[in-house]
Structures are given as structure tokens and as C-alpha cells.
Amino acid sequence: MNETNAVSSYQYVTFSLSDELFGVEVSRTREILSLTPVTKVPQMPEYLLGVINLRGQVVPVIDMRLKLGLPAGEETEDTCIIVVELQVDGEPMIVGALADAVREVLEIRSDQIEAPPRLGTRLNTEFIQGMGKVNEQFLILLDIDRVFNSDELSLVQDVGQVEEAQAEAGEA
Amino acid sequence: MSSLAETFKDEAMELLQELEESLLALEETPEDQGLIDRVFRALHTLKGSGGLAGFEDVSSFCHEAETVFELVRSGDLKADRELVSLTLAAQDHLKGMVLTEFGADPVDDERTAELVAAFQILLPFAEQQVEKISEQALRQESIQSTYRIRFRPQPNLFRLGVQPQFLLSELAHLGEAIIVAQLDAVPPLDELDPEECWVYWDILLTTAEDKDAIRDVFIFVEDDCGLDIQQIDEGGVLDQPEDYKRLGEILVERGDLPQDELDHFLNQKKLFGEALVEQGHVNRSKVQSALTEQERVQALRRQRQVCDAVDSIRVKSDRLDKLVNLVGEMVTVQARLSQFASNRVDADLLSVAEEVERLTWDLRDQVLTIRMLPISGIFTKFKRLVRDLGAELGKDVMLVTEGGETELDKTVIDSLNDPLVHLIRNCIGHGIELPQVRQALGKPAKGRITLSAKHAGANVALTITDDGAGLDKAQIKAKAVEKGLVGAQAELSDREIYNLIFEPGFSTAQEVSNVSGRGVGMDVVRQAVDSLRGSIEVSSEAGQGTVFAVKLPLTLAIIDGLLIDIASEQYILPLSAVEECVELTQEETIQAHGRNLLNIRDEIVPYVRLRNEFNLPGERPEIEQVVIANLEGFRVGFVVDNVVGEHQTVIKNLGRMYQDADGVSGATILGDGRVALILDLPSLATRVETKENSACR
């Protein structure tokens, strides 16, 4: 589905995080929710915001700013949750991604997409599928499976343990 | 694959299990005719439906085994250990044959021939003849009738050289017989001639034979006795349920009581039988005999009703899962409705909401019971496991099961199989000693493993007990030190030492075999039990044996929870662990000098402040609530702001993202649509414990 053929086009949902524009494939997005109360799960890394009730299903929500290493942001009335479908270790999973605002759905031809630059994005290039150029504006196309891949999850664990250790040090 | 074949597969698996069960039981009691019949029937049915579904190989293979069991049935062959072993092997082979059609590895044809040959050796007669008999026998068996027989011999019976007890025992061979001796004609002792027979008998016989066959029993005495045979209950079509004959009618029919006397008594209000006896119209034993008849017919009909009625249907388990999910959502919506209704001053709405609540709870209970299965299903499998493993290791072991009727959620039972297999393997591998060793120790040579299940509140308690060598504390500790699980200086209680065997990477097996001790032993068991929200404990006495106690929740889908709140966040505690709630004032906290201990009726109970544990913001209230939970014998308090109340909790998985979340076992959706976390109290307590220990170091 995602193979880069000669000239084909893909649709992307674009959203903003801290003045940068990102895109995620339409085929991977399920729906967009306005911000609903999130139940925090204790002792988890900061970017794991908690869980929400999506019509009877419990769905985790991730703060995309923190996940991508951007500074934390304020909640505004534009803040929303993009519900995306992931493949984690070959199993489907539904996750809510918290974004500053959702912009539009864009059609991007494959010849408009460039390989991710090695430098200068402030982001881990591993997460980036490519850079789209639309109306003279750069669009960072995310590989959401990579963003949430299992290596990342184990990295998350380490962070959790570090935090715990710090907490212990504080108490002692 | 055709649906006929699918249906046959399901049926065959059931029949094969039945076959296995019967064979194992037969091994214990080789003379039991009922068991032999069961084995025979299973083989016969399998043969028939195999042929019907186009499994010719299965059908002809069954035929061989069936032929042999026909001989066992007729008593020409003993159901000895070899035959049982052979048939068990055949049962395995049959399973393979059936599954071949469904993509499993094909069975070895040589093996088929081998087994067939082994069965044929046992056959002394021409096979075809036996076959005919077996068909006939089976057909007759299906129609059973009950007869009432009154056998009243002439007093000179003994002089004719007839022994009535032989006649009666011959009758008993025809089927199930209840014999009541009537003594009312026996004269007083001083007038009694011991060579005369004054006793007569009422016999109730349930048999597949016909009246003539019964009459044949009495063929030599028929002219010298009063013989009355009446069919009182016919097999086949079920009569009206109220169609039992009344006691009076039975007595009149037998001629023990004239009709007019019966009518006279019917006008009296007393218990009929007693009134009759009281007034001396019939004696007690006659009434007793009539009563027996009444009961017998009732019992038989009840039994037949159970067999005849379509008492079960097959449903795919994923349909059930969907149903349970729907009910889960229903419970959530109902909670929302109730909350909504109680916030409005509208009596009509409130009464509807209450009605819905009642119905939903009923529905929930009903749906959950559908998924409940008796645990005996897996118990049977273990009988086979114990038998085969024991034989492999040269140990003589028997498995005793108790409480097989205990019911558990299907999901729990399914995931219980592997850990139990592991535990039993361990019992046989490590626990039970070799027969010689056992005898030298003064124990019976046959080792004994007891598997018992019983309900204990919202839980099921499973225990696996063996009477083997017991756990070696010193050895366990040495091993744990060697593996770096504990420090060499660590002072451990017995309980702590025993529980070391559940640590990952721990295995005391001296030699690695395929039975036990691959180093991935007991920690897998504990993980499996944990994932079922259960717990496992082990205790042992050197030389006496080991006891594994597993505690499991009845169901995984819905639990009774206690809704609490801390810093306006709501959480659920599993109610099954909660013992009581007490208050904690600021004053008490200050008096305790920073120690988190409570004094409850002179017992010191440590407590955990969940607010601190979860780093929740805000000031704690003046008076906090402490929920005292019992965690496998330890009482621990959990401090919360407020206890809201009981809550029917539909458990939702938190998913992979939170699979490492410590102290949280799942989530649920509250009436207002928010998500509340379900707390995992044991892991919370453990976490705090390790944190405090490391802080002290």
C-alpha cells in the first residue's frame, strides 16, 4: 500500500505541533476528536497522557509534542486527538495522538516527497517517512508505526525506571 | 471442508474424550459393566458417525476396537491393563486420524496396521458373528422397560429343590432390579415349618428384555408359584409428567387393596400410606413396596427426560465473547442511565432506570453463567497425563480429583491448562519418589496427587497436593544464592524460601528431562496465574509432600469493584480483596510520627498513601479513608480521599502501551463516560515494599 511507485499520490491529514506542520496518511487515521477528559495512568512516562473512552473502548493517548521531543504546549480550543491505527509487532492497535490543531487533508504526489534530511529537523529522522513540499511550505510526513515501534516502548520503560530511581533518591 | 465433517470433528473429539475418561476409570475398576458399556458405545457411535461423514478409515479402525470390546462386554475377555493401554493408544491414534482431515500431520499407516493387528490377536471367534450380536445388543439396549413382578412361590418350593435366591439373582442379571421381600404371610415362629417358604417377593425390574425373557427365568417353577408380570413403564415416548400412578392406584392394581376401601381412604386427609397401615388394611411392607415402585418410575422418567430433551446446543465461543462484550457495554450504559436518573427529580424516569438496572444485572449473571464450565473437563486430561508420565518415569502415581463440578469461566479454564500441566509434571518429576524409595520410607508404593477445586467467595481455590518428598529448603536457598536471586546472608522465612521457586530462572532439577526442569518452570506458572488475576502459594513439609494453592477469580469479564476517589480522580479497587474501611484523621497521622502504621483492633496494619504513590496534586482532606485489603494473608491499608461505593466493573484491557504499568490491572468506563483505572493491589503493595527496602539500604 505504501510502496513508492513511479508517480502515485497519497492523501495526508496535516496537523500542527509547535509551529511545525506534520502529516499522517489518511488511510491510517480513523477519526478526529475534540479534547475529552483523559484519565492519567500513574508512574508512566510523561508523553503517555493516559486513556480515554472511545465509545466503550479504552484507548491510550500520546502527547505528540513530547513524543517527538518538542517542548510541551498549552491546551487550546484547537487541541484535538487524532485517532490512528498502528501496527505494533504485527498486531493492530488504536492510539490517540494529541495535536495542537488539525489543518486539512492534502493530496501529495510521490514526486513532491523528498527523503528526510539528515540534519536540521530537530527530530529523530527515524520517525520521518519523508518531507513533503506543498505551497512552498514543508510538511514532515510521519511514519507512525516507527513512532510507536516496540524498541521505542522499551526505551520508554528505561525512562520510567530512571524516573523511579530519581523519585527514590529524592525520598531517601 | 464440509459442515458435515466439521460436525463430525466436534462430535468425535467429544466421543474420544468420553472414551479416554471411561478407559481410565475402567483401569481402576476393570469389572465395571457400566464402564465397559460406555467404552463400547463410544467406539460404536464413532464408527457409525465416522462412516456417515465419509471418514472410512476412522470407521473401520473403530470397528476393530469395538469388536474386541464386544467380547469384553459379554465377559469373554478381561479388560486388563494391557487392553486399556492398547485402547488408549488407539484413542490417540483415532484423534490423529480425525485431525488429519483438518490439516494435521497424517497418521502413520504402519501404526494403524500395528494397532489393528494388536486388536485382532485378541479375537478368538469369527468376527462377523460378533458383529451381528453387537448390533442387536445395542438396539435392544436403547429400549428399556420397567416391569412389576410378584413372585409368590408355593410353600413347598424348597422341597422341589428350588433356591429362590438364584431365581432372583438371575432376574437381577437381566437389568436393574429392586427386590422387596414380603413377610406378612410368614407364620409366627412356633408354627413355622423351616422347610416351607412363606416369603414372597415384589420385584421392580428395568430391562431391555421382554416379558417372555422374564418368564423364562421362572420356567421351572412357573406351575408351582403365583407369578404376575406387568409392564408399568415403557421406554421411548415420554408420558405426561404428572402421569405417575398414585400409591393407592398401585396397591389396587396389585390386588393388595380393594377399590372400595381405597375410595373410603381417599376421603380422609391423612398421608395415605400411613393411614392404611395404621388401620391395618395393608401392612407396612406392602406399602413400602408400592412406594418403591412409585419412586422408581419417577426416577426413571426423570432420567429419561434429561437424556431425551435437547439439553444443550453448540455455540461458537467467539459468539459468546461478543455477547459478553455487549453485556459489558450494556452494564456501562445502564450505570449512566441510573446516574442520570438519580440526578433528576422524576419518579417515572427513576422507576424505569431501576427496572433496567435489575434486568441488566440479571442478564449479566445469566450471560456469565453461560460461559461457566465445570473444571472436570481438564481434570480428565490430567488423569491421562499422570498415568503416562508415571509410567515413563517408573513411578506409580494415582491422581485423585475432587470438586470437578466446580464451575469457572471458559477463558480461565482454557488458560489454566498449561500452568496446571506444569505443576503436575513437577509433582511427578520432583515430588513423588520411586516406588522402592517410598516403601523404604514406609509410605505406600503408589504415590498420590490430589487435585481439588472449590468455590471460596468470588474465587475458586485450586489445590494440587502430592505426598512426595516435599521441597528441600536448603537446596532451594543454595540454588537461589547461586543464581543470585538472594544474598547468601539473607534471612528468609519458610514461605519466602518456598516462593523462590517461582522466580524467573530458577529450577532445582538436577537433571534436565522433558518432564520438568527446563529452567523455564515455575515462573511461567506464576505468570500465567497472575495474568488470570489469580495468585499462587506453595507450602511443603519435608517427607510429607507439597501443596500448591492457586486462587483464581470466577470470571475475567466483570468484577465487583469498590469505587474510590483521590484528588477528584476515580479508581476501582477489586472488592474481593477489600476487608473493611476505616477513617484516618490528621491527628492520627501526626501521632504516628511519620510511620505509616495503623492500629486496628490491636493489630498493626501498614498503609500506603495512594495520593503520594501516584503523585497526585492537591491537599489531602482532613479525614481520609483507609481501605483495608487482605493480600494473601497480609493486611495492607490503602489511603484514599473518599469511598464512593460498590461498582459493577466491566474490565477493559489497557492495551500494549500500558502493559508495563505497575499497580494497574485494567480500566473500566464509569457511568459518566470517564475512564477509571482498576488498581492491582498486590503489585502496588510489593512496589512500595521494594521501594522502602531499597530506601533503607
Compute the C-alpha angle A64/A22/A146, nearest 5°: 60
- On the question of pLDDT at A50 being above 80, the answer is yes
Instruction: Among B51-55, B179-183, B504-508, name the most confident range.
Output: B179-183
- On the question of pLDDT at B566 being above 50, the answer is yes
Per-residue pLDDT tens over the stretch B461-491: 899 998 888 888 888 888 888 877 777 777 7
Q: How far apart are alpha carbons B526 and B545 in whole angstroms?
A: 20
Interface residue ranges in chain B relative to chain A, Cβ cutoff 8 Å: 328-329, 332, 569, 613-616, 652-658, 660-664, 667, 669, 673-677, 691, 694-695
Per-residue pLDDT tens over the stretch A63-93: 988 888 788 888 888 999 999 998 877 778 8
pLDDT for B269 equals 54
How far is CA A26 from its chain centroid? 14
CATH level 3 topology of B389-553: Heat Shock Protein 90 (3.30.565)
Contact between chains at B657 and A40 (C-beta distance less than 8 A) = no
CB A67 within 8 A of CB A47: yes
pLDDT for A56 equals 74
pLDDT for B640 equals 92
CB B141 within 8 A of CB B208: yes
**Average confidence (pLDDT) over A12-22:** 88
Per-chain mean pLDDT for chain B: 79
CATH level 3 topology of B558-696: SH3 type barrels. (2.30.30)
Per-residue pLDDT tens over the stretch A20-30: 889 999 989 99
Superfamily the domain A9-171 falls into: CheA-289, Domain 4 (2.40.50.180)
Q: How far apart are alpha carbons B684 and B466 in whole angstroms?
A: 33
B653 to chain A, closest Cα gap in Å: 7
Instruction: Please count the other Cβ atoms lying within 10 Å of the Cβ belonging to residue B269.
Output: 7
**Average confidence (pLDDT) over B245-251:** 68
**Average confidence (pLDDT) over A134-161:** 64
* A94, closest residue in chain B (CA to CA): B655
Contacts of B572 in chain A (CB under 8 A): none
Contact between chains at A39 and B660 (C-beta distance less than 8 A) = no
Which of B375-379, B504-508, B604-608 has the least mean pLDDT?
B504-508
pLDDT for B312 equals 73
Which residue spans of chain B are classified as CATH 1.20.120.160? 3-140
**How does residue B305 score in pLDDT terms, banded at 50, 70 and 90?**
low
Contact between chains at A58 and B667 (C-beta distance less than 8 A) = yes
A44 in contact with chain B, both atoms CB, cutoff 8 A = yes
* B690, closest residue in chain A (CA to CA): A168
Q: How far apart are alpha carbons B414 and B375 in whole angstroms?
A: 10
**Chain A, chain B: beta-carbon pairs less than 8 Å apart:** 75
Identity of the amino acid at B257: L
Which residue spans of chain B are classified as CATH 3.30.565.10? 389-553
- On the question of pLDDT at B283 being above 50, the answer is yes
A88 in contact with chain B, both atoms CB, cutoff 8 A = yes
CATH level 3 topology of B317-371: Helix Hairpins (1.10.287)
Instruction: Please count the other Cβ atoms lying within 10 Å of the Cβ belonging to residue B620.
Output: 18
Which residue spans of chain B are classified as CATH 3.30.70.1110? 142-308
pLDDT for B515 equals 44
Instruction: Please count the other Cβ atoms lying within 10 Å of the Cβ belonging to residue A6.
Output: 6
A77 to chain B, closest Cα gap in Å: 20
Which residue spans of chain B are classified as CATH 2.30.30.40? 558-696
B514 to chain A, closest Cα gap in Å: 31
| B615, B655, B669 ranked by CB distance to A60: nearest | B655
- On the question of pLDDT at B133 being above 50, the answer is no
pLDDT for B626 equals 92
CB-based contacts of B637, cutoff 8 Å, min separation 6: B582, B598, B605, B606, B607, B608, B626, B627, B628, B629
A171 in contact with chain B, both atoms CB, cutoff 8 A = yes
B669 to chain A, closest Cα gap in Å: 7
Kindly state the cell numbers that stand for B4.
458435515
Residues 51-80 of A with CB under 8 A from B: 51-53, 56-60, 62
pLDDT for B292 equals 74
**Average confidence (pLDDT) over B366-382:** 83
What percentage of chain A carries pLDDT values higher than 90? 18
pLDDT for B457 equals 65
SS (H, E, C) A102-117: EEEEEEEEHHHEECCC
Domain ranges of chain A: 9-171
CB A163 within 8 A of CB A153: no
Q: What is the CATH number of domain B3-140?
A: 1.20.120.160
Helices (H), B158-208: 164-174
Interface residue of B669, B680, B694, B697 to substitute, partner A, most A CBs within 10 Å = B669
DSSP labels, B299-322: HHHHHHHHHHS-------HHHHHH
- On the question of pLDDT at A156 being above 60, the answer is no
Contacts of B654 in chain A (CB under 8 A): 41, 51, 58, 60
pLDDT for B70 equals 81
β B447-456/B397-402 pair status: parallel
Per-residue pLDDT tens over the stretch B17-74: 888 888 888 888 888 888 888 888 888 888 877 877 778 788 888 888 888 888 888 7
A89 to chain B, closest Cα gap in Å: 10
Class of the B142-308 domain? Answer: alpha beta
pLDDT for A159 equals 41
- Tally: H helices and E strands in chain B: 23, 21
Q: pTM for this one?
A: 0.51
- On the question of pLDDT at B516 being above 60, the answer is no
